[in-house]
Every structure is written in C-alpha cells, then in structure tokens.
Amino acid sequence: MPTIDGRRVLSGTYGRVWYNGELWMEAQQFEAKVTAERDEVQIGLSMDSKIKGLRGEGTLRLLKVYTRTNKTVLEDWKAGKDPRGTLIGAIADPDAVGGQDERIQIDNVWFNELTLLSFEKGSGKTEQEIPFGFTPTETRYLDTIEMM
C-alpha cells in the first residue's frame, strides 16, 4: 500500500485564477462544484435515483484591489445582456507528486450576484465574494496530478 508524505498535500497558497485570460492575483479562494440533479425512481420497494441534469456553481473570493468585473457586468445587466466568460483555476504546488499541476477550465461562466461596495471600519483588508454559475458540459481538466 503506497504512503503519502504530508508535503504532497496541495497548498492553497499556490492556487491561481484567470478570468478571460487575465490573471487575478488578488484571488484568495476559488471553489467550483458540480451537483447532479436527480429524480427519484422506485424499483420494487427500493428508492433509487436517475440523473436528469448537472448544475455548476462556484464562488470566488478576492481581496478588494480593483473594480474588476463589477462595472462591466452591471452595465451589461442594466442593458438586458447576460455576459459570459471563461475561468481557469490552477494549483501548482512545487511539492506536488512529480511536480505536476492541476488546472481546470470552465467555459460559459456567468455571475449571479455583485457586491457593489462593502467595507468595515477598522478592518485591515476588504474582500469581495463573487458567486458564479456555469454549464458543467463546458468544463474540462487541462492538467491533472497522477499517481507515479
């Protein structure tokens, strides 16, 4: 049975996010997940399920440095437009197995909510959380970390 050294566990310190090809250095947290939407199916006395669709959702948390997408997304929304983009998330920890990276590309990303301005007196930093959605069928791994 193989063992794992603690140093092989990926550190979020090495995580990065790009939106439409632009590196967002102020990204503090990135999470993207896919949820299977299911219908219940009864087979005899057992309750089972059948996948009827996939839902993609995620959250970006940024240090507040730039206005970023807020102004352009707000203007598009006010004009009745629904802007879409591409997110790439990556972890390139130098201690990863074999020095490998993990990268995922998510196309057809839309933002669900914009915090136009938020601050707290006495706080040393201001952060912005941006929830987003995406179509899972337009998502793919660009790089994966494989066992060696």
Question: What domains lie within the chain, and their CATH numbers?
Answer: 11-143 (2.30.110)
Q: What is the DSSP string of 5-40?
A: -GGGSPPGGGEEEEETTEE-TTEEEEEEEEEEEEEE
Q: pLDDT, tens digit, for every residue of 56-103?
A: 999 999 998 888 888 889 999 999 999 999 999 998 887 788 888 889
Q: Which residues contact 38 (CB under 8 A, 6 or more apart)?
A: 49, 50, 51, 52
Contact 30, 15 (CB under 8 A): yes
14-48 pLDDT, tens digit per residue, is 889 999 999 998 999 999 999 999 999 999 999 99
pLDDT of residue 1: 66
CA distance 35 to 55: 5
pTM, full prediction: 0.87
The SS3 of residue 73 is helix
Give the SS3 label for residue 88: strand
CA distance 145 to 10: 10
